[in-house]
Amino acid sequence: MHPLYDCIVVGSGPSGVQAAQTLLEGKMKVLMLDVGIKQDRFYQDNLPNSSFTQVRESDPNQHHYFLGKNLDSVAKDWQNKQDRLTPPLAFTKELVGLWQSKIDKNNNQFFMESMAKGGLGNAWGRGAFTFNEKELDKVGLAREEANRSYQKIAQRIGISGTRGQAVKLDPLLPPLFLDKSMQYLWNKYDQKNNYWRRRGFSLERTPLAVQSIPKKGRQDEQYWDIDFWSLGKSAGYHPGHTLDQLLLEPTFTYLPQHYVFKFKDQTDGVLVMAKHTGTLEEKTFRCRRLLLCASVLGTARIIMNSLHAQAHKRPLICNPFAYGIWLNTKMFGQQNSIAKSSFSQLSLFEQATDPGSFNLLNLYTYRSLLLTKLMNELPFSYRFSYQICAILKEMLVIGGLHLPEESHPTNYIRLLPDRSSPTGHILDINYHHDDRRLKKAIRSINKPLLNWGAIPLMTQYTASGASKHYAGTFPFSTREQKFCLSREGRLHHTRHIYVGDASGFRHLPAKGPTLTIMANAHTIASGLLKNFKALLSVEDSLNK
């Protein structure tokens, strides 16, 4: 039996590390349990320290990270059009199939989970949006607390952008530079911005968890256009940055290779059961409070297994997602800026039918995607596809469209027994989203884009779950009801179990939820801290 910890945090993703930091600032003794698969040393050692174009022009071994060790992205993964993880980031989904099995009856779902150090935060596009008041109400978060927490997280991680629909924070770091192609779109919008706003469209700089100026030992954006290939050398924030700081704290313990599968809520604390992923040995840990930050699907597995709720249906929310390619006609025969960032540069908001709700298209110029990947989307001969791509590459604008989503009774998950799984269960996900909503939104969003000279080339409607934004399995509820969370994040009908990820969100706005998830984790950890300090003072007075 291990020593008694004040709090055990499960998971090292964006919510886990932020909650742990808040708890440590309150002097709590924290244990973080995590599977914690690390990025392959091969990629860490081989990652280039120069810009995308320099690497392409001079490095004879570039295929190692652009195509993967042993050219895996071609040999094994060449038709994968869902996750879009570059080979150096493929560790994000390593081992998941073995430990976290899922049923996919029609092979048309793409729900991503992660057992990596940093969790799904490794696959995050660094979009750092704040929800507006109506969105916070629908999600079930208290406005004032959420705004305070946004501010706190922004101070910790650094957010660049300009105040507007996308982000309402002060102060922000200066926004990143726009490249030539995006500058054209921005200028066209800016000439008639009042007109477009009246029509329900607004174009803004994408707020990013990226350092636009050097700060706190993290380097600023170098505009090397290699951000999605080079995790450690990018100016973009990822949970590993916070985890590295936490490891210096004397009251913090990080135990990787531990897969948490069950807890027991007792009068005086919690027992947490985990399996060592190497030896499969089962271990039990004790703590006063348990904070689950294992991402929505991971947390659902642990709670349903612990509360013997197998076969019990829990709702699931996921943003419908499509991506498309547009041709910026202004860039015909011109070269785009060499120095550029790979992250989303502009965000196009479209007022949805529901007031205060938006559809969101994030725009990128993605040179570092490599023509190889684009060629795979075209049905022509490779020679002809190459010629087309070579002509059009400077004109390509990639857009990712997210729609807001509510809970629907037909979309649910349940845990079923499965003897072949090391955890003894399998997750059955039943999810369907209607592509007609996406098609309608694409048609509508094409109007301003066409006006600004961007011609739609193709749209890919992705499988359910491909947005990687999940929520709603244990929704917030003010009434004490089973499988729901209190505003403080406590799982109703338990004493010491808290949930710090997006499981409680009752709604998912189109804006990426990562910043809100981190802010919510901070709010819950702060509440837990207050509650815990009150408990300690009661214990002290009883002892006296």
Partner 1 sequence: MFTQQEAKVISRYLLKVDIDQKQVDLYAQTIASGDFQLSIFEQRIFRHQIQRPIHCAAYDAILGWTHPNGNIRKRFFLMFSILETTPQFSDHFLGVHNKLACIRIGFVGIIKYLFHLSLGILFLTFQFIIHRLCTPFMTASS
Nearer to partner 1, 71 or 103 (CB): 71
- Of 395 and 499, the one with the shorter C-beta distance to partner 1 is 395
What are 203's strand-pairing partners? 348
For residue 283, the minimal CB distance to partner 1 (Å) is 38
Give CB contacts under 8 A, 24+ apart, made by 277-280: 277/35, 277/95, 277/99, 277/115, 280/422
Of 245, 40, 240, which Cα lies nearest the Cα of 120?
240
- Nearest approach in angstroms of CB 51 to partner 1 is 12
Question: How far is Cα of residue 264 from the mean position of the Cα atoms in its chain?
Answer: 29
- Residue placing its CB nearer to partner 1 in the complex, 279 or 335: 335
Q: Given the complex with partner 1, which of 271 and 375 has the nearer CB atom?
A: 375
User: Counting beta carbons within 10 angstroms of the beta carbon of residue 289, is it exposed (0 to 12), middle (13 to 18) or buried (19 or more)?
Assistant: buried
Structure tokens at 77: 């993964």
CB of residue 382 to partner 1, shortest distance in Å: 5
Give the contacts of 245 (CB within 8 A, at least 6 positions apart). Answer: 21
3-state secondary structure of 150: helix
Chain position carrying tokens 């710090």: 500
* CA dihedral for 203, 208, 212, 213, sign (positive or negative): positive
The CA distances from residue 462 to 179, 320, 433, 513, in Å, are 28, 8, 10, 19
In this complex, which beta carbon is closest to partner 1, that of residue 79 or of residue 194? 79
DSSP labels, 335-379: PPPSSB-SS--EEEEEE-SSTT-EEEEEEE--GGG-HHHHHTT--
For residue 25, the SS3 value is: helix
Distance in Å, CB of 380 to partner 1, minimum: 5
Distance CA 484, CA 489 (A): 9
Shortest distance in whole angstroms from residue 98 CB to partner 1: 20
Count each helix (H run) and each strand (E run) in the chain, helices first. Answer: 16, 19
Residues in the chain: 544
Q: Which is nearer to partner 1, 386 or 461 (CB)?
A: 386
Q: How far is the CB of 40 from partner 1 (least distance, A)?
A: 17
- Which residue, 58 or 162, is less far from partner 1 as judged by CB? 58
Is the Cβ of residue 66 or residue 285 nearer to partner 1 in the bound state?
Answer: 66
CA–centroid distance for 397 within its chain: 22
Q: Is the separation of the CB atoms in 292 and 302 below 8 Å?
A: yes
Q: Which CB, 4 or 74, lies closer to partner 1?
A: 74
Least Å distance, CB 13 to partner 1, is 31
Binding site for partner 1 (CB under 8 A): 53, 56-60, 62-63, 66-67, 70-71, 73-76, 78-79, 332-335, 370-372, 375-376, 378-388, 390-391, 393-394
For partner 1, the closer CB: 56 or 286: 56
Residue 64 beta carbon to partner 1: minimum distance, rounded to whole angstroms: 9
The contacts of residue 16 (CB under 8 Å, 6+ apart) are 9, 10, 32, 34, 119, 239, 293, 294, 500, 521
* Distance of closest approach, residue 60 Cβ to partner 1, in angstroms: 6
In 49-61, which positions are buried (b, 16+ CB within 10 angstroms) versus exposed (e)? eebbeebeeeeee
- As to burial, measured by CB atoms within 10 angstroms (0-12 exposed, 13-18 middle, 19+ buried), residue 479 is exposed
CB of 452 to partner 1, least distance (A): 20
Shortest approach of partner 1 to residue 375 CB, angstroms? 6
Comparison of 79 and 106: residue with beta carbon closer to partner 1: 79
Q: Give the residue with the Cβ less far from partner 1, 251 or 385.
A: 385
Task: Let me know: does 6 contact 29? Beta carbons within 8 Å.
Answer: yes
Q: Which pair of structure tokens corresponds to residue 488?
A: 């403080």
CA-CA-CA-CA dihedral for 56, 60, 64, 67, to nearest 10: 50
Residue closer to partner 1 (CB basis): 371 or 398: 371
Q: How far apart are CA 317 and CA 138, in angstroms?
A: 13
CB of 348 to partner 1, least distance (A): 27
In whole angstroms, how close is the CB of 459 to partner 1 at the nearest point?
18
